[in-house]
Amino acid sequence: MKQFILSSILILLSAESFSQDYKKEINDQVWKPFIQTFNNFDAVGFLSVHSKDVVRSSRDSKEILNWDEYLKQQKAGDQQSMKSGSKRTLELRFTERIANNNQAIEVGIYKTTSINSKGEIRSFYGRFHVVLRKENNTWKILVDTDSSEGNTISENEYLSAHPLE
């Protein structure tokens, strides 16, 4: 019985360290560049962490975009923000992270803080659901969907989620 318990604990610990490796890979290959390019209004860099097969849905606006449509929309938004002198920061926290060797599902809360040209600051929150897959040994976002859920997501929910590790 002791041997069974010890074996079970070892299996659980090795599975946790296995998933930690995936988290680090995904953080380095997807989330860190995702955040950096979003904050820097770099639409091309931002879309480079997405699969060419991406399905993007902002559920609040009830739309579904492919890669080309998403890039066009992102570029237009970036240009408008830069023209108006706005700045922004994106922060992500996670409520669920599941991965195997070539697929992952990640759920969490985002916080986008905008600073307009007058220095006025506003923060927006939403829940994201993302499906990732490995393409040519690199993690890419395959499905990217989010929603403010009727503006019900708050700083409290954001703070209760786990930070990017």
Residue range 25-163 forms a domain whose CATH class is alpha beta
Residue 132: Cβ-neighbour burial (10 angstroms; 0-12, 13-18, 19+): buried
Could you tell me the pTM of the whole model? 0.86
> pLDDT tens, 65-74?
999 999 999 9
Q: Quick one: pLDDT at residue 21?
A: 86
DSSP state of 103: E
Q: How many CB atoms lie within 10 A of CB 115?
A: 14
Write out the two tokens for 77.
């938004």
Residue 14 has pLDDT above 60, yes or no: no
Residue with tokens 């690199």: 138
